[in-house]
Amino acid sequence: MHAARSRTLAVLALIPSLLISATAAPGAVRAGAAPDPPHAATAPGSTPRTLAPTPPMGFNNWNAFGCDVSETLIRETADVLVSSGLADAGYEYVNIDDCWSLRERGPDGRLVPDPVKFPNGIAGLADYVHGKGLKLGIYGDAGTATCAGYPGSLGHEMIDAQTWADWGVDYLKYDNCNNQGDGSQQDFVRRYTAMREALDATGRPIVYAICEWGQSQPWTWAADVGDLWRTTGDISDNWASLRSIIAQNAALAPYAGPGNWNDPDMLEIGNGGMSDLEYRTHMSMWAMMAAPLLIGTDLRTATPETLAILGNRDIIAIDQDRLGVQGAVVSDQGGLMVLDKPLAGGDRAIALYNSTDALATVSIPVRETGLRRAGAYRLRDVWTGQVTQAESVISAGVPAHGTVVYRVRPLADPAAVPPQVAVGGTLGNLIPGGLGDGTLVGTVTNRGVGALRDVRVTVSAPGGWTVDAIGDTRRRSLDSNASLKTTWTVRVPEQTTAGRYPIVVTADYRWGPRQRTTSTASTVVSVVITPPGPGRRHLSTVAPVSTGNREGPVETDQSNGGGADNDGNLITISGRVYHRGLGTTAPSELVYLLGGACTRLVTDVGIDDGSTSGTAPVTFTVYVDDTAVASSGPVSLGAAPVTLTADLTGALWLRLVTTGGDGGTGGAAHADWAAPILSCGDAGPDDPVLPTERTIYSFESGTEEFTVANPGSGGTVAQTSTFHTEGSHGLTVSTPKDGNWFGRTFAEPLDLSGADRLRFDARAGGLGTVGEIAVQVGPDFAWCQGGLWTWINPHASRTVTEEVSDLSCPAGVTLDLSQVRAVWIFLNGGGEVHVDNVRAEYPE
């Protein structure tokens, strides 16, 4: 699936239903969870398909351009691939995605290229691309219509395959929208095999990319059908999406091999939603997972940094290694993952991946990898080119969201090679002006053969900060696999603003027979917290100094669903649903800095209706400094919410504490602080709550003329009192299986200037749904749409959020929020979905 970006309401996307079972829902695939392959067709050493002996490399326009595809774009991209050297690095396919054809087939039943977008047709474009030494790819769909509503190939497989072959197409991405199927694996196999047979009948070699989003676990059946298969939902240009897809795809190593590749979706590198460090992780993990490398950015305007990431020959060599083995997960604990990938010639690629939000030392004993035993190992960092040696453990200080990749081989004589030295550090949150000095603990570990001499650790911080060592910071000698731990006090100046600041820990040392002097450094990102500003605000928008929770993280604006992040539902206490709050598991504690600036806290508390493991009563207590000022007494599951009001005048610290809730073998009760509002400064009880919101649809007066954007696709709406997060009513939507957009146009333009988010609350029925948001702007009603496609599990609830900055408009259209002509929400699945409180949110 992909997010269709259309120019007008008449060409709205028909996004498919995501019939994802509980075992195959996004995020459900875990390391080690994959069953044994059903056959050995993809095992290393077996006879592979010849069309894709290594993962395909090239370009696809969708991530950067959506429906704005044209002959000019494809020609110019082919030119840049050649002129930039990317073609020489292995990028050979230039792939056209959706929206390339007319909306109707020709009189002969064939697909017709849009003559405005492709004046020379696809055949003429293929000739141009082939003349550059490259290959051309195209897009089709195993349904009655593509995701953007253009003709699909279901029932037209033979004529479409022959048409593409006649045009000189070399690659087919075959999507899954509007598939008319029953959701069974047999149906997927039937539809995708039909196109496989049609392609074979043409006699032209065409790489076949199955794009059914991992719904039917294609890794278990597609080895004899396609050359690659999507394993996940669509990627988005943000860290949460990248992290989720890595977690899902990394577990599927047994199913990949020459001619058959797990495809975790196209690259987002260069599109601006992540840092260069995160983009290097993107490239690193795709290479380690032997994934296709399909560039998804505008190469005509790509920065040198983007081109350097995409063009790194060392990381490409790992992806394209002729053994064709996907790296296996050999360690996965606490957000730190290690992958091991064998390479032709005997080397191995070892990736140390840190998905957490802090610097971490990631390590793996050599004996837990596939490296043969040796006295030492040569490590070459494929991003920096630095060469070091290690004795028995491969280790590095890896920054938050970063990945270090080494190409490793046994080393006979380590004496002339610098030792691998890992520098790590931990530091809690910092508070300016002496209210909360931080303790930085730095760790220097010698992983090389031979002792380090004259080890000295230093710490550098931003100007005006004070860093003082506690104890010794030197060591005359540091043996192999020994560590030096140093401790430092970090003080932040009083006027420092809240934010993230770098602190660099550096180790200087001498090594080897000639006692060469070398240094190794790592950056610890320190988080500075300041008291809240004046005004009334949702406490869930204030960063705590510290949290403690019996199970999993403290969740923001949702209940705690278990051990994973973002796994809860909208907070619900005795049937009342809240879209703001803090979800914990008792016993728990949250600590906030007030600095004497706040006056009042009002909050509802109770045990979440979703609490099934721990059902014993919970007591909620509010502490001001060390004094309890409000308490709920024991609250049982099913009891109505209890409202607590606390006077915070003059308090430096606020603590929210829950006790009880079993805490033993019965599990932990899910204890909610619902809609907590903090007042600071001279804020009055009638002041607006920050961040301010503007309701667009409340459904208090009825359906508010909600309708469907595509009448032919189905869907109905009705007011309901069953689900509501504001007021006493919401909306029940009967969704079509393949989905529709629900909303309405406005008689006069709506001015949402300054809004930075659009949101709505939803609870899915028994089939689940995808949620998305779009707006129409300006006199031409230009369609601007988000691309996150938030999945809501069956019977689950959450707030669907789209950043205004992520709304994508057609080329040449400016997103003018002062001229909003319509707001739409997308839902699908074929069942009932309850929604409420469609709103715009404004920054403070």
Whole-angstrom distance, CA of residue 20 vs CA of residue 254: 22
User: Residue 656 CA to chain centroid, in angstroms?
Assistant: 30
Q: Which residues lie below 8 Å from residue 280, measured CB to CB, with a gap of 6+?
A: 309, 383, 402, 403
Catalytic residue list contains 381:
no
Nearest CA-CA partner of 592 in 629, 637, 623, 633: 623
Query: What's the Cα-to-Cα distance from 636 to each of 106, 569, 608, 614, 669, rounded to whole Å?
Result: 67, 19, 10, 10, 10
Spatial contact of 141 and 152, defined as CB atoms under 8 Å apart = yes
Among candidate residues 97, 98, 141, 175, the one labeled active-site is: 175
Q: Of the candidates 630, 596, 583, 601, which has an alpha carbon nearest to the alpha carbon of residue 536?
A: 601
Place of tokens 């990381």: 315
Edge to edge, the sheet with strand 348-354 lists 328-333, 336-342, 348-354, 403-410, 377-381, 387-390
- By three-state DSSP, how is residue 696 classified? strand
* Radius of gyration (C-alpha) of the chain in whole angstroms: 28
Q: How far apart are the C-alpha atoms of 154 and 142, rounded to whole Å?
A: 5
Q: Is the dihedral of CA 246, 249, 254, 259 positive or negative?
A: negative
Helix axes 157-167, 185-202, angle to 10 degrees: 40
Selecting among 160, 170, 227, 234, the annotated active-site residue is: 234
According to DSSP, residue 315 is labeled H
Pairing between strand 360-365 and 393-398? antiparallel
Q: Is 479 exposed, middle or buried (0-12, 13-18, 19+ CB in 10 A)?
A: exposed
SS3 assignment for 556-606: ECCCCCCCCCCCCCCEEECCEEECCEEEEECCEEEEEECCCCEEEEEEEEE
Q: How far is CA 11 from CA 8, 74, 329, in A?
A: 6, 22, 43
Closest CA relative to residue 679, chosen from 647, 636, 656, 637: 647
Q: CA triplet 659, 662, 666: central angle to 5 degrees?
A: 155
Give the burial class of 374: count Cβ atoms within 10 A of its Cβ; 0-12 exposed, 13-18 middle, 19 or more buried: middle
Farthest-apart Cα atoms in the chain, separation:
85
Three-state DSSP at 163 gives helix
- Separation between Cα atoms, residue 826 and residue 836, nearest integer Å: 13
- The three-class DSSP label of residue 65 is helix
Phi/psi of residue 256, nearest 5 degrees: -95, 155
Mutual angle of helices 71-83 and 121-131, in 10-degree steps = 10
Q: What is the DSSP string of 648-670?
A: -TT-SEEEEEEEESB-STT-B-E
* 97 labelled catalytic: no
Sign of CA dihedral 98, 99, 100, 106: positive
Q: Are 28 and 250 in contact (CB under 8 A)?
A: no
152 and 177 in contact (C-beta within 8 Å)? yes
Angle, CA 162 vertex, CA 157 and CA 164 arms, to 5°: 95
Contact 786, 773 (CB under 8 A): yes
Distance separating alpha carbons of residues 298 and 286, to the nearest angstrom? 20
Burial label for 498, CB within 10 Å (0-12, 13-18, 19+), is middle
**∠ CA 478-479-485 to the nearest 5 degrees?**
45
Tokens representing 196 are: 């496989």
* Identity of the residue numbered 311: G
Among all residues, which ones are annotated catalytic? 175, 234
